[in-house]
Amino acid sequence: MKHLPLLLLAAFATPAAAQLSPAERTMQATVTAQASRHEALLERLVRQNSGTLNLAGVRKVGDTVRAELEPLGFQVRWIDMAATGRAGHLVAVHRGNGRGKRILLIAHLDTVFEPTSPFQGWTRQGSRAIGPGSGDDKGGIVVILAALRAMQAAGTLKAADIEIVMTGDEERSGKPLATARADLIAAGKRADVALEYENLATEAGREYGSTARRSSTDWFLSTSGRTGHSSAVFGSEFGYGAIYELSRILDTFRRELPEANLTYNVGVMAGGTPAAFDTDQLVATATGKPNIIADSAVARGDLRALTPEQIARVIDRMTAIVARHLPGTDARITFAPGYPPMAPTAGNRAVLARLNAVNRDLGLPELTEFDPAKRGAADSSFVAADVDTLAGMGPISGKAHAEGEWVDLASLPRQALRSAVLISRLAADKR
């Protein structure tokens, strides 16, 4: 409690607290009293490296979370994902009275920082803690645990039907993706409401609710041409070569595809005689000479859109652009299954409205919808087609996926209280 800023304590003590039930006031007192405990838990989680490919490290984080959940009455199991080349997922179920809404909580155990990364450990700078995964997503895990502990203290956890899925490969999904996300998708089909615990969206000092996220689909482009002496380029015998064909396609994407909530990045490319990707399609290599017409070129990028209809439409347009070959060339584009979109539905907005009712009663700012073009893809997208979903329920954090990633420790109890009250109220709703 000693680290909580006066501003946070004041926010928890506003006249709006009179709108809270006795149980909700107990939750408020609990998250405040246990703030230091949860900071220490977050430090333990962050100090344990759990880069996606550090399978043992991911399991150790899962073991730590299991030890926190089982005393709260959750049945916890580990789902091995050796078939996808990943550590696995933690799934925990709390069986309540069976009368209220079934609530799914989503987080992930892994980070982007493997053991080889120089960014390791934990440091504090005032109310900020700096460390790999401190916000994405170990801070979110701690918010979940703090909220559940507050519910237990208040007596509202006992009746709540809650399922938790914490994936071990959110940052670098195992393949096939259908296998890697099968358990999460199944949990979404069982739930009435899903809450995802990546970082709270903030901009210019304001906090936002995330009712939507865009998709993430990888695309792979290859072009070919007739190789020969460069003096004959553009002529009827050899045509334009593979690099000009690749350039035509990419520039046409740039000019003809733009629309709202759509991006199509080119991440890596190469051209020459020959050019190719490695087996993981992460490294592109090429050889050639200035006086040789390139016979091959490759590029890889991603496509992000807001709805399935937008994805289908843009894929059709990209495919049509690729088919307009320059003379003497050929080209092919393929798309790999990726993260689906989380469209901004009326149901998602209804969950945000419920959260804003909690915010009013707590004397906290109401959250308006965040621009989905400013958020990346996340595991919530895999369940959003089946269940009303609200994302970004985790703490305030910054520099995700970069050295210096930080989390605002003062936001942990605030976010835990929001969640504890919201989950308790949803669990009290009849199905």
Please give the distance of CA 174 from its chain centroid, rounded to a whole number: 15
- The single-letter code of the amino acid at 63 is D
* Domains, the chain: 6-213+342-428 (3.40.630.10), 216-339 (3.30.70.360)
3-state secondary structure the chain: CCCCCHHHHHHCCCHHHHHCCHHHHHHHHHHHHCHHHHHHHHHHHHHCCCECCCHHHHHHHHHHHHHHHHHHCCEEEEEECHHHCCCEEEEEEECCCCCECEEEEEEECCECCCCCCCCCCCEEECCEEECCCCCCCHHHHHHHHHHHHHHHHHCCCCCCEEEEEEECCCCCCCCCHHHHCHHHHHHHHHCCEEEECCCCEEECCEEEEECCECCEEEEEEEEEECCCEHHHCCCCCCCCHHHHHHHHHHHHHHHHCCCCCCEEEEEEEEEECCEEECCCCCCEEECCCCCECCCEEEEEEEEECCCHHHHHHHHHHHHHHHCCCCCCEEEEEEEEEEECCECCCHHHHHHHHHHHHHHHHHCCCCCEECCHHHCCCCHHHHCCCCCEEEECCCCCEECCCCCCCEEECCHHHHHHHHHHHHHHHHHHCEC
Query: Tens digit of pLDDT for each residue in 310-365?
Result: 999 999 999 999 999 999 999 999 999 889 999 999 999 999 999 999 999 999 99
Q: What is the pLDDT of residue 266?
A: 97
**Averaged confidence pLDDT in the chain:** 94
Give me the mean pLDDT over the 184-213 stretch: 97
Residue 228 pLDDT level (bands cut at 50, 70, 90): very high
Is 90 exceeded by the pLDDT of residue 300?
Answer: yes
Q: What is the pLDDT of residue 18?
A: 55
Q: What is the pLDDT of residue 17?
A: 53
Give me the mean pLDDT over the 83-109 stretch: 97
Q: What is the pLDDT of residue 337?
A: 82
Query: Tens digit of pLDDT for each residue in 258-279?
Result: 999 999 999 999 999 999 999 8
Give me the mean pLDDT over the 71-87 stretch: 98
Give me the mean pLDDT over the 82-96 stretch: 98
Q: What is the pLDDT of residue 3?
A: 40
pTM higher than 0.85: yes
Cβ–Cβ < 8 Å for 38, 145:
yes
Residues contacting residue 313 through CB under 8 Å, at least 6 positions apart: none
